[in-house]
Structure 1
């Protein structure tokens, strides 16, 4: 594949001197398609696009069928329309295409709440801007909740009867991996019995991790996809494990407006833990900065990421950040960070607002254990 446009699409994150659109795939696609397309006026209606999007979602993993669907989109839409259609596919903006195209249409209160089998942007944690003592003070002097910050993928589980829906923080549908029904997927068959039989519908917020039953510990985030795709079903193999930390919807009612304490109490009454499959995120109670530091010491000893502090009376704000949820890492706290000499060996190009340059760095550290062994070796006599 030597065509410059094809290479540019494959390397859409890679910035160049001439290209200022790198890092934003829909815009890169628009630039490429606009030079090739002869479509001046699109003929695809909103209803027809709706049907094509359904075909795409119903054929996850079937590349040949999806390619034919996208070819139909290409043949009937302008480059500008294709740019927005791709944004719909990548960001789950189906609601825009289906209803909000009509400027007279307005969302009602129910539309602004969580809904079953509809992806939503979850509440996020705010980084402390001051010392941990100041963050604790902002909790109002009351007892607060301390959770360990988990190294996994933020995930929401929707359940209605025997049907499930899994979705990431950015709106990507992972149901095909974890299982739409009890008889399919790498997780659903193993967690269905965890739910109380009185539950008709529920939405849980949490983190998807990888559990290794041999070492009895969680594995790095990078092994999640491999574990989810493993179809061998051997008991000793690593498997996905969902760590639950919030309950957002129960039996037809949204709980966003209820307090974190209320949601957590009801969450624990809705299901039972199944070790290595579905578990509650470990949480503690604290009142002082000393409590936070003690928990941080424990997390660091176990090579964890950090902590999350939550106000017990906080409501759940979709796609929001405030001082009710604060993430705390060792580097945010005095005398708890570590200084390490590293060598930069690679970098990853950014996307979206970070497009056009290097977003993250890959660093290497020296394993000085080998040097230590060499120093201890005795000279042969």
Structure 2
């Protein structure tokens, strides 16, 4: 398949924000894609080359991309940097500077999707002293043979700036229509994705085997399951009203959610976003096999940093000291943890996600042999508002964030957010006390329904003593689809690609933050 065809479809997708139109374009693309490369196309649509849990990342910096464009076009780096500074999009910049070159050279045979994908995969796996030079060589080689439109999207994929506005749900609907002819089959395809976390593989199966192949997907060890998520409630009254009968309350810890997979003595750990994080927790790999009474399992836990002397829980940010490439042994020693289990999805050949919560909890207590390192998250059964308040107070006093409230008879709905699980935190109860006037100084692109728009804002306040604007929090909730569209239109023209000399802060709008959850951050700093 020619990459030019893919680039043309990407161009059409970038030209619309209408979901129905995007779905129609996607269906057309999928139907015109050979089945042997369908998974590669689906990965590229998502702006990646492999599923998240494989940890294959391109990680190309702008400077390296600019050097590659310079090498391919024969244009000085400074000229490309100047054009980039004016345009703000390196993909478009590459297309413009390469346009002159293509006008003076003979056309060559079109590059294929397979060549582009395989080259990207090689780039992602390059390591060592000469890896940067090799990356430039690979990228410039692609750009040498690419059309201007192909070059634009190759650069966008490399830099992680491909913004097609395609949410996962839209892609799943398109797969259902393209390969089964029925939109209603989206639920079966979504279920397959929820237990495999690999939409590329799901697309290959539905394209070659149809819906019968999709029905064969099962939960399996070392394939991460998309986590079940909770709705938020603001008060104990709201929680009791939603459940209308006795329910479970677990302490909500301020840690990192971890999905722990065990087969024999082999341990693999995935984060909430399904990234492989095993390397950051060698102590879990070493100790957990000794506290789990099973051969194979998939368990969910909250990993929390702790003060080894007092036993007190430490803030989530302390765990981030472990996110380092080198000297991990020192980080493990300096920031000890406890592993606090709260669910079991699979054990010794038994799929448990369809069992009621209380049954899963009973099984979990038999699997986990508690000690100082591994524990069960405390749980109580509650009938009324007074019970919620009492357990919430105990949770806060224990150094926790609040409560996770769970319907006793609910199964584990992988990849779903709903009212079977509710989260209640102290700050949800309107205890902020006042609104804050804050300045938007940055934004982060969203995922899912927020793909192609800013999903989270970075906010700052004015520090009069130092005449500076330190950032104090991120805000990602409370937005409607309409407000997100408006924010993108207002803020995107103000983006600066590089720090401007002498400029302390760039801002467009000031907003009021009212009664919102704020948590202490040790990381957010500006300038």
TM-score (norm 1): 0.70
Structure 2: distance between partners of 1:321 and 1:357: 18
The residue number in structure 1 matching 2:114 is: 45
* Contact 1:208 1:243 survives alignment (8 Å): yes
The residue number in structure 1 matching 2:207 is: 103
In structure 2, do the counterparts of structure 1 residues 6 and 287 end up closer, same or farther at CA, with 3 Å as the change threshold?
A: farther
Structure 2: distance between partners of 1:63 and 1:219: 38
* Contact 2:87 2:93 survives alignment (8 Å): no
Q: Which structure is richer in relative contact order (CA contacts within 8 A, separation 6 or more)?
A: 1
* Contact 2:303 2:338 survives alignment (8 Å): yes
* Contact 1:186 1:231 survives alignment (8 Å): no
In structure 2, do the counterparts of structure 1 residues 122 and 234 end up closer, same or farther at CA, with 3 Å as the change threshold?
A: closer
* Contact 1:152 1:209 survives alignment (8 Å): yes
Structure 2: distance between partners of 1:304 and 1:81: 45
1:218 paired residue among 294, 307, 313: 313
In structure 2, do the counterparts of structure 1 residues 54 and 262 end up closer, same or farther at CA, with 3 Å as the change threshold?
A: farther
Name the one with the larger helix percent. 2
Offset of 1:267 from its aligned partner?
A: 0.8
Structure 1: distance between partners of 2:266 and 2:136: 28
* Contact 1:212 1:236 survives alignment (8 Å): no
Please list the CA deviations of residues 229-274 of structure 1 after superposition, one character each: whole Å capped at 9, or x if unmatched: 5544699732233221100011123211101111111111112123
Offset of 1:350 from its aligned partner?
A: 2.3
In structure 2, do the counterparts of structure 1 residues 283 and 108 end up closer, same or farther at CA, with 3 Å as the change threshold?
A: same
1:328 counterpart = 2:424: yes
* Contact 1:56 1:66 survives alignment (8 Å): no
TM-score (norm 2): 0.52
Count how many residue pairs are aligned between Structure 1 and Structure 2.
330
Offset of 1:189 from its aligned partner?
A: 0.9
Offset of 1:146 from its aligned partner?
A: 0.5
Secondary structure (helix, strand or coil) at the match of 2:279 reads helix
Secondary structure (helix, strand or coil) at the match of 1:244 reads strand
In structure 2, do the counterparts of structure 1 residues 32 and 164 end up closer, same or farther at CA, with 3 Å as the change threshold?
A: farther
* Contact 2:65 2:155 survives alignment (8 Å): no
1:361 counterpart = 2:443: no
Counterparts of 1:230-379 in structure 2, within 5 Å, are 231-232=328-329, 237-275=334-372, 277-302=373-398, 304-333=400-429, 337-339=431-433, 348-352=442-446, 353=450, 355-356=453-454, 359-361=457-459
The residue number in structure 2 matching 1:206 is: 301
Q: Which runs of 5+ in 1 are unaligned?
A: 8-15, 20-27, 179-184, 366-381
Tell which deviates more after alignment, 222-231 or 279-288: 222-231
Structure 1: distance between partners of 2:253 and 2:129: 33
Counterparts of 1:54-65 in structure 2, within 5 Å, are 56=124
Structure 2: distance between partners of 1:174 and 1:96: 21
Q: Which runs of 5+ in 2 are unaligned?
A: 1-60, 68-84, 103-107, 163-167, 169-192, 464-527
